[in-house]
Structure 1
Amino acid sequence: MRSSERADLPRWKGEPGFFEIWFLVVLDPSGDCAWWLRYTLFTPAPGGRGEPRATVWAAAFDRRSSEPAIAIKSLHPISEFDAGTRDRFGIRIGDSELARGVCRGRVGSGGHAIEWDLRFTPSSDVARRGPRGLDRLPLPTHVSHSHDDVTFRGVVSVDGVQHEVRGAPGLQKHIWGTRRVEALTWLHCPRFREDPGARLEALTVQPRRSVPGVRFTPIYLRTSEREHAFHEVPGILLTKLEPRGHEVRFEARSATRSLRGRAWCDPRTLAGYVYRDPQGWDVHVAQSDVAECEVELFSRAHPLDAWRPDRRLTSTVAALEFHAPEPLENVRYLGWDATHLEER
């Protein structure tokens, strides 16, 4: 079994106080459309709110539409989760399934329906986007970049309108644990106009807002010439990412290389969801998969030299997520027990 398939195997063993997530981001190469798909398990901790459940979430983004973000989900008893076999990854929730290189499902609620039948060539190995050894620590939340840089093909139907998916860049990740992080901002940009081989992932995580000084900000940039691994020590010590409304600004540097950039989205393209921690508290997550991004690169021959501009990268193929206890202004959120957004 390849390491990427092993990384996707279910971790839940039936215990209370646990959550598990498999999610996919599929970005149309045009930058006009995108789809976000999520398969989850949730069991409350003793004394927590709610019942164990499995959920299939879906969001469709279309910057050209009068309704540029559609967010819906389906709720299932935990008994409708099928973990598959130990020697091959393949999960199922109701009629929706996710296996190695295959993703199918359907969610309908509130007059909307999203249906998908997608394929991708699996990655051989898990991508690492944090310092070495991080995955071995006894953290309350774990993440695996199972299929970090893949291309999707197939069909997605939104409210009966079919979209042929061809050469769509994206990813699939696996997250599990006993406690959610309280604040997180994430940017994924798999394609740039000036360099189709470039990709960027930037993240800042604050596990507990009550400990403001503890923040983890890995930034990874690959261009057609080289990798800029600001997710390793010492580079990760010189990174910054700050959300500002519906925009983020970020920077990173080493002794001889640096970057700075920003990403933003039209707030109408944000799909909002309420997630619950096993202990019972909620977080608000807003994501746009039709965001925009620009990056400036700099270099110098010696650590004492002045920085010189190298190149500028721009993209309209990007995913941007804001995750915090408080809701963002002017964003509607799909409640924990709801399956669709109420009309304004």
Structure 2
Amino acid sequence: MPSSERANLPRWKGQPGNFEIWFLVVLDPGGARAWWLRYTLFTPAPGAPGAPRATVWAAAFDSEASTPALALKSLHPLSDFDAGTPERFGIRIGDSELAPGRCRGRVASGGHAIDWDLRFTPESAPAVRRAPRGIDLLPLTTHVAHAHDDITFTGTVTVDGHRYDVQGAPGLQKHLWGHRRLEELTWLYVPRFREDPDARLEALSVLPKRGPVSPRLTPIYLRTARQQHAFHEVPGLLFTRMEVPRAGELLFHATSATVSMKGRAWCDPRTLVGYVYRDPMGWDVHVAQSDVATCEVELSTRAHPLAAWRPEGRLTSTVGALEFHAPEPLEGVRYIAWDGTHLTGPEETSLRAVEGT
């Protein structure tokens, strides 16, 4: 079995107090549209409120439309989840499925609907790593597998009856599982840059639990046509930082002995969709996401640690995704409730946000 399939195999064995997530990001090459798809399992911890469930989520982004972001979800009993077989990865929740090289599904609620039927390549690419070596040996509360990192999608997505033909759309697919949600997380993903078609960027800042003994980690991975910059590894990981100055904007910086990188990513706040995610113990995390974000990166280099920095060049994204997690809601973003399936309220006709992770 290819390593990407092994990375995707379900970890849930029927125990309470767990969550499991498979999600895909599909970025239209033109940059104006994107789609986000998510298949999840949830079981509350013993004594926590709520019932086990399976959920299918979908979000559609179109920065040029009058409604630039729409997100929906469907709630299912856990019995609607089919884990497939141990010999071959393939999961199903109701009529929605994810298998090697393909995914399809439908979510409809509140008078809106998102359907998808997509294939992606390569099917047997190895899973990749974007975190420090050995981190999986630690007793983590949340685990992540980058099952498919640099893939392209082909197929169709239909939003409220309008069919979009997807051709050569870059994206990724990840698998997450655990027994406690991360309290704070900021994520940036950029698989295409205008100046360097081979460049890829993924930046993450995570605080597992607020408090004096919980360190914040900010792994940043950048690959260009000339070099791979492993700021997600020690010692580079020790010299990274990230901040969110305002809703929908992200600043980040990373430095090694001979390379310095600083960047900015941002999105139109109207393209943020909001979701409420539930921890198995019963508390919530608010997640705001835009998959039509923009990013700029400036690189500087020097011959040795005592030499002066010299500009190396600038990278400008053609597509990108931004995500913000915190216990508090992001100002100006409306969120789909944990037990909701679409955005409700008097502002529904001007959807700016919807849904949760």
Q: State the TM-score, normalized to the length of structure 1.
A: 0.99
Deviation (angstroms), 1:136: 2.3
Q: Is the 8 A contact 1:206 1:212 kept in 2?
A: no
Q: Is the 8 A contact 1:123 1:146 kept in 2?
A: no
For 1:47-82, what per-residue CA distance to the aligned partner results, in whole angstroms no more than 9, with x for missing partners?
A: 112100000000000001111010100000000000
Is the counterpart of residue 240 in structure 1 residue 241 in structure 2? yes
Partner SS state of residue 244, structure 2 = strand
Decide which of 309, 312, 325 is 2:311's aligned counterpart: 309
What one-letter code is carried by the residue in structure 1 that aligns with 2:273?
A
Partner of 1:274: 276
Deviation (angstroms), 1:210: 2.2
For 1:134-176, what per-residue CA distance to the aligned partner results, in whole angstroms no more than 9, with x for missing partners?
A: 1222211100000011101000000010111011000000000
Partner of 1:18: 18
Q: Is the 8 A contact 2:258 2:302 kept in 1?
A: yes
Alpha-carbon distance in structure 2 between the residues aligned to 1:285 and 1:9: 25
Task: Percent identity, please.
Answer: 72
Alpha-carbon distance in structure 1 between the residues aligned to 2:5 and 2:124: 9
Alpha-carbon distance in structure 1 between the residues aligned to 2:190 and 2:111: 31
Q: Which runs of 5+ in 1 are unaligned?
A: none
Partner of 1:60: 60
Partner of 2:158: 157
Decide which of 281, 298, 301 is 2:300's aligned counterpart: 298
Alpha-carbon distance in structure 2 between the residues aligned to 1:289 and 1:5: 25
Q: Runs ≥4 in structure 1, deviation > 4 angstroms?
A: none
Aligned residues: CA RMSD = 0.9
Partner of 1:39: 39
Alpha-carbon distance in structure 2 between the residues aligned to 1:123 and 1:224: 23
Partner SS state of residue 275, structure 1 = strand
What one-letter code is carried by the residue in structure 2 that aligns with 1:184?
L
Q: Which runs of 5+ in 2 are unaligned?
A: 348-357
What one-letter code is carried by the residue in structure 2 that aligns with 1:112?
H
Q: State the TM-score, normalized to the length of structure 2.
A: 0.95
Partner of 2:135: 134
Alpha-carbon distance in structure 2 between the residues aligned to 1:181 and 1:192: 30
**Whose strand proportion is higher, 1 or 2?**
1
Q: Is the 8 A contact 1:123 1:148 kept in 2?
A: no
Alpha-carbon distance in structure 2 between the residues aligned to 1:261 and 1:153: 30
Counterparts in 2 of 1:13 and 1:213: CA distance versus 1, 3 Å? closer
Alpha-carbon distance in structure 2 between the residues aligned to 1:169 and 1:108: 25
Alpha-carbon distance in structure 1 between the residues aligned to 2:277 and 2:62: 24
What one-letter code is carried by the residue in structure 2 that aligns with 1:210?
G
